[in-house]
Structure 1
Amino acid sequence: MSSLMNVSKNGDHKNTGLSHRGWSNWIDDLFNVDTFPTVLSNNFNTGISLPKVNIRETKDDYFVDMAVPGMKKEDFNIDLDNDVLSISSEKKVENENTEDSFTRKEFGYASFRRTFTLPDSIEDSKIKAKYEDGILSIQLPKREEAKQKPARTIKIS
């Protein structure tokens, strides 16, 4: 961390390009994201990750399949607002380990939100979702007029 500052043995500090008006300001600057963005972004987990999604189409439906292992169906929020499908989750985990002379607490936070604009051809009142084996699958049924019709032969009169 050569971009911090040099402190001599007598406690005086030499400014290395940062504005420091005293010890408390130096501490404030130490945790300033603008001053040290690489330190914060490389060493702290932001808790944000986007699950991988596959979108597939069959004759009658579209499917949005999302890989989210280790979660429960209660962890998800699925909303539809003006033809925008939103899938989100927010999970907080806290662990506490107490031994004779100390207590250690660890906590984690993870969240994501994915949104998809749906085509007009979706029958939104019939959308279904299920979570099984780490895969969240959302079935988006097509309207009757949007379903592919089977090929047929037309006779000439």
Structure 2
Amino acid sequence: MSLVKFRRRPFGNLVAQDFFDMDDFFDNRAWVRDMLPSRFWNGKTAEPALNVKENDNNFEIELAAPGFAKKDFEVTIEDGCLNITAEKEHSEEEKDDNYTRREFSYNSFERSLQLPESVKQEEIKAKYNDGILSFKLDKKEEAKKMPPKKIAIS
């Protein structure tokens, strides 16, 4: 860890220069769509939240995707990436003498995760329960954390 000298700035974490150079302030902000990194804007409406936990013997991934069914998901592994896509359509129509009511919705998302080389790709397990898509990715033997070994001193 390296130490960096802390310098207080006026207005907290905002750079004071931003308030005085108005052209720069309005031209280079996040609301300019081309300036947004893909993690904020990828042309889709939203991406589901994702938790990744590393244990000694495996990785556990949880993806929040409520409202979907198992059949809505497609999970593939390609070029070392775990690709998760889901698509769901719903339509409803009610006709009466005086009116017709139509409702429809469409929801989809894509997530891709680069898998570490330490994962056994052929043994990945997935489960969907209560709106959570869970994955268990076992590590290869050589990647598992070894217990400490006591060495005798002669």
Give the alignment's TM-score, normalised by structure 2.
0.69
Q: Which residue of 2 aligns with 1:77?
A: 74
Render the CA deviation track for 1:82-140: whole Å, top value 9, x for unaligned: 10110110111101111122212121111100001011000011100001121100111
Hey, what's the Cα distance between the residues in 2 that align with 1:55 and 1:67?
Answer: 12
Where in structure 2 are the equivalents of 1:108-147 lying within 5 Å? 108-147=105-144
Structure number with larger C-alpha Rg: 1
Alignment root-mean-square deviation, CA: 1.5
Q: CA deviation at 1:143?
A: 0.4
Hey, what's the Cα distance between the residues in 1 that align with 2:64 and 2:81?
Answer: 20
Hey, what's the Cα distance between the residues in 2 that align with 1:69 and 1:108?
Answer: 15
Count residues with an aligned counterpart. 112
Hey, what's the Cα distance between the residues in 2 that align with 1:95 and 1:66?
Answer: 28
Provide the secondary structure at the position in 2 that maps to 1:155: coil
Render the CA deviation track for 1:28-62: whole Å, top value 9, x for unaligned: xxxxxxxxxxxxxxxxxx97321100000111111
* Residue among 80, 83, 87 paired with 1:86: 83
Hey, what's the Cα distance between the residues in 1 that align with 2:101 and 2:66?
Answer: 27
Determine whether 1:155 maps to 2:152. yes
Contact 1:47 1:110 in 2 (8 A): no
Hey, what's the Cα distance between the residues in 1 that align with 2:87 and 2:54?
Answer: 29
Q: Which amino acid aligns with 2:71?
A: E
Hey, what's the Cα distance between the residues in 2 that align with 1:152 and 1:114?
Answer: 40
Hey, what's the Cα distance between the residues in 2 that align with 1:55 and 1:47?
Answer: 22
Where in structure 2 are the equivalents of 1:42-81 lying within 5 Å? 48-81=45-78
Gaps of 5+ in 1: 1-45
Contact 2:77 2:83 in 1 (8 A): yes
Contact 1:55 1:65 in 2 (8 A): yes
Give 4+ residue runs of structure 1 displaced > 3 Å after superposition. none
Provide the secondary structure at the position in 1 that maps to 2:153: coil
Contact 1:48 1:110 in 2 (8 A): no
Gaps of 5+ in 2: 1-42
Contact 2:68 2:88 in 1 (8 A): no
Q: Which amino acid aligns with 1:73?
A: K
Provide the secondary structure at the position in 1 that maps to 2:90: strand
Identity within the alignment, %: 41
Provide the secondary structure at the position in 2 that maps to 1:109: strand
* Residue among 74, 79, 95 paired with 1:98: 95
